[in-house]
Chain A
């Protein structure tokens, strides 16, 4: 932190200040040298800070303001969005759809996380052994995570089609091939969760696999000398040592799941009968379908609030991990 220590160890370079640097003070007084250096150094960081302020800071503030404003489709022609106090908030909270979307977001997030993490961890443990082709198989399994989410959604929409989809024709071989995966209110959310689990497995697997690599081999050797069973070793050595990585993976999984939009729109568009509507899609619906940006901002702010709580967990985990 101490800037004096840093500047003492840096050779003075008055000749060529960084081109993007903020114009330094013109006076060549010796005292200003340090200030000029500081300004030149900030020149490296400032553009990114400005960018992030514009693309993250501004939307955060703007969303709060918007949630107290009355937007109509004509607002974008007239530019008028009068303040209306808590009206948007009241409207959103009184709408049954909000409660429904909130509940479905919770189900979606918890279901996805359990599935992604459980299967991801199992695969990480599996791939942690040595066998031929291990590295190739492990990297190819990443593909579902790298393909655009909308594309995955569209592909699964075809697979899950009730009448002509391959999943039902496959299940038909066992005499059970008539599930309305995406077209019934009872199944649609479960189906969307299933697809999201499929998308999330590779990410969970790779990070957990990386964590497993860090567990010292000697500990396993010691455990096997003590005659510990595989399960016992896993519970007493692997899991505790993996805990920081597990925290990170779960929080990052939470962050990307709670705000989901692409996948739901591609699979069900929020339907049937709003049975797959989540806070993310509801924000979109309010703002970009109803053109009520005030209501969209309210739901968005709630989404931020939920994320912020978990961001605290993430940052704490991150502080213990890195550096």
Chain B
């Protein structure tokens, strides 16, 4: 895996910085234990890939390793689920844009403006993270029927954006609080309007938290199943999560193709993790603890 190559130097340099502390023997022992733990934890994902490469085994037992690489399952998955992957991609990207458009200015406002009522808004933002999604779907469905948003890309994008917005506000706000007031005042003294200051000074400074928030709202939207399931009554807008769920209902014997589709749907998570692990770790801790 390539991700290992990119991060190993940093880690070993880090460990080498404290040479005398641990006995080398124990450190290697811990590393082996760590690898074993990782293998156990990731076994189901290995099995997903393994099953995907043995489409002929159908309802039989799957061999521990594929004898020969058979990509026909992927062919079937692409043919039948490729469109749903594109739908997922489009909906998730749309949700990210909506999420950042709403949450970035709000995070800035809540972090830097001393307005009466902002505390209530922050409190409300925290509360929204507790509302069960199925409750939202329950009420949203009838509203969507009235508004003609059922079975529409826009409707699903908006609903999926709601998964990320509270998180993004909390995360970016905790970052933007740390921007020194002097920096913002200096920009405003230079004649920049409040909005230009936000776009040209605050946003570039908050780049990392924007990336983290965007990354997570993408993952939330990509993983969404509940809104896809409840806010669509036809096959017009079907993301990959819904596609896979209906697949197991309809083709129980065709595990090779189901798993191929599963692999394809897991790829964004794997790619994002390898490319941006520091943002992911920051997002998990920052969005919840801060």
Contacts and interface: CB of A to CB of B under 8 A. Distances in A.
A259 B134 contact: yes
A155 interface: yes
B250 interface: no
Given A135-B10, A259-B133, A157 B248 contact: yes
B175 interface: no
A114 interface: no
Given A149-B225, A300-B134, A44 B108 contact: yes
A136 B7 contact: yes
Contacts of A157: 248
A280 B133 CA distance: 9
A19 B195 contact: yes
B7 to A, nearest CB: 5
Given A49-B121, A148-B223, A259-B134, A166 B109 contact: no
B194 A18 contact: yes
A63 interface: yes
B16 to A, nearest CB: 9
A107 interface: no
B162 A55 contact: yes
B185 A150 contact: no
Given A19-B195, A130-B21, A141-B41, A304 B131 contact: yes
A136 B169 CA distance: 29
Nearest to A280: B134
A102 interface: no
Nearest to B15: A130
Contacts of A296: 138
Interface string B257-289: 011001001100110110001001100110011
Given A132-B27, A135-B11, A16 B44 contact: no
B134 A245 contact: no
Contacts of A308: 130
Nearest to A77: B145
Q: Among the interface residues A20, A154, A296, which one has the most CB atoms of the partner chain B within 10 A?
A: A154
Given A51-B165, A133-B35, A318 B105 contact: no
Given A17-B194, A132-B12, A154 B248 contact: yes
Interface string B173-185: 0100000010001
Interface in B122-168: 123-143, 145, 158-159, 161-162, 165-166
Interface string A49-63: 101100110111011
Nearest to A55: B162
Contact of A51 (B44, B108, B162): B162
Interface stretch (A92-100, A180-188, A202-210, A232-240): A202-210
B67 interface: no
A304 B169 contact: no
A150 B241 contact: yes
Interface string A280-310: 1001100110000100110011011001101
Contact of A13 (B110, B194, B225, B241): B194
A1 to B, nearest CB: 7
Contact of A38 (B18, B33, B115): B115
A137 interface: yes
Contact of B165 (A52, A134, A169, A258): A52
Given A2-B114, A132-B12, A149-B223, A261 B133 contact: yes
Contacts of B266: 147-148, 151
Contacts of B27: 130-132
Interface string B233-272: 0000000110011001000000100110010011001101
Give the interface size bracket for B toward A.
35 or more
What is the interface of chain A mostly: helix, strand, loop, or mixed? Answer: helix
Contact of A144 (B18, B41, B127, B259): B41
A13 B60 CA distance: 72
Contacts of A166: 47, 61-62, 64
Interface in A1-53: 1-3, 5-6, 9-11, 13, 15-20, 38, 40-45, 47-49, 51-52
B230 A284 contact: yes
A206 B284 CA distance: 7
11 contacts: A131-B27, A132-B11, A134-B31, A135-B11, A143-B42, A158-B255, A164-B60, A211-B289, A249-B288, A288-B229, A321-B289
Interface of A: 1-3, 5-6, 9-11, 13, 15-20, 38, 40-45, 47-49, 51-52, 55-56, 58-60, 62-63, 66, 76, 123, 126-127, 129-137, 139-152, 154-159, 164, 166, 169, 198, 201-203, 206-207, 210-211, 245, 248-249, 252, 255, 258-259, 261-262, 265-266, 280, 283-284, 287-288, 293, 296-297, 300-301, 303-304, 307-308, 310-311, 314-315, 318, 321-322
Which 7 pairs between the two chains have the least Cβ-Cβ distance?
Answer: A16-B193, A48-B106, A6-B114, A44-B109, A59-B139, A259-B132, A62-B139
